[in-house]
Amino acid sequence: MGRKYKCGWCGWIYDPSRGDPSHGVAPGTPFEELPDDWRCPACNAPKEEFILLDMEGVKGL
Ligand SMILES: [Zn+2]
């Protein structure tokens, strides 16, 4: 269902099925619905630095 996004700074991946519970983001929250001030929990990169992961490309690796 939800699309995964990868941090362009550190490579951390946001998985909407897991959310980011340590920052109050419930599992099942799409990346698009994260608050504007949400940042990468690993390196503090802003949302706009995240890149949509191509699921087919991931499978092919
Ligand atoms: Zn990051």
Q: What is the pLDDT along the chain (61 residues), one digit of tens a residue?
A: 689 999 999 999 999 999 999 999 999 999 999 999 999 999 999 999 999 997 655 555 4
pTM: 0.83
pLDDT of residue 54: 76
**Amino acid code (one letter) for 48:** E
Q: What is the pLDDT of residue 2?
A: 83
Cα(1) to ligand 1 centroid in Å equals 23
Q: What is the C-alpha separation between 10 and 35, in angstroms, rounded?
A: 20
d(CA 56, ligand 1 centre) in Å: 22
**What's the pLDDT score for residue 31?**
96
Ligand 1 centroid from CA 19, angstroms: 15
- How many residues appear in the chain? 61
Torsion of CA 51, 54, 58, 61, to 10 degrees: -100
As a whole number of angstroms, the distance between CA 14 and CA 11 comes to 10
Place of tokens 């949509």: 52
Calculate how far, in angstroms, residue 26's C-alpha sits from the geometric centre of ligand 1: 19
CA of 44 to the centre of ligand 1 (A): 6
